[in-house]
Chain A
């Protein structure tokens, strides 16, 4: 089955720890995205990548880092510099090159205490 997987579904961390969220897709999509969603809010773009080994900051990149070493993988690291990391994190992909319909993974709920 083609799709996007994110792991884990729930993640708990202590304040001050870095944590890496996994995102893998087997849709052969060029573009991948990371969003953050807070309760009752829309999606805010953290980082996106249109091609391997290249990525751009979104609207709220501070305190986050990414890598895109493989087409199918786009991990997100939430660093200790992110002041309010508790949120629902969503990974998405799109075919790219004028096709911007995005398909989402199931998400990871991160709780930092």
Chain B
């Protein structure tokens, strides 16, 4: 079992819809959780971090964490074509380093 697993996708949603991206992790002692966005051919950029159970909202993005279920998700409301990218989930399993999932590719169709 991979340490961090994401839906392989690709995920396609119409413009204006909600995109839901999911991630599960195997190490119960994980403390820090991150979502990165990576456009094709570019490097990843941090879009959300979450450290405690519940929801964290930042503009159109909401990260949700459930440590009991070892599950973290990212919701993108009012999806725009510019949101089309690969979204990487990362989990800090040992102090000082993060483990990344393989990413989910999102396409938002106009």
Q: Which A residues contact B (CB, under 8 angstroms)?
A: 31, 33, 35, 40-45, 48, 50, 56, 58, 90, 96, 98, 100-107
Inter-subunit contact B98/A102 (CB<8 Å): yes
Binding site for A on B (CB under 8 A): 4, 32, 34, 42-46, 49, 88, 90, 92, 95-103
* Cα-based distance from A98 to B46 in the complex (angstroms): 17
Q: Give bound CA distance, A44 to B99, whole Å.
A: 8
A63 to B99, CA, bound (A): 20
* Interface pair B43/A107, CB less than 8 Å apart: yes
B33 to chain A minimum Cβ distance, whole angstroms, is 10
Number of A-B contacts defined by CB within 8 Å: 49
Chain A nearest Cβ from B52, distance in angstroms: 14
Residues of B within 8 A of A50 (CB): 96
What residues on A are CB-neighbors of B96 within 8 Å? 31, 48, 50, 56, 96, 100
Give every chain B residue within 8 A of A35 (Cβ-Cβ): 100
Q: In the assembled complex, how far is the CB of residue B56 from the closest CB belonging to chain A, in whole angstroms?
A: 13
In the assembled complex, the Cα of A33 lies from the Cα of B97 at a distance in Å of: 8
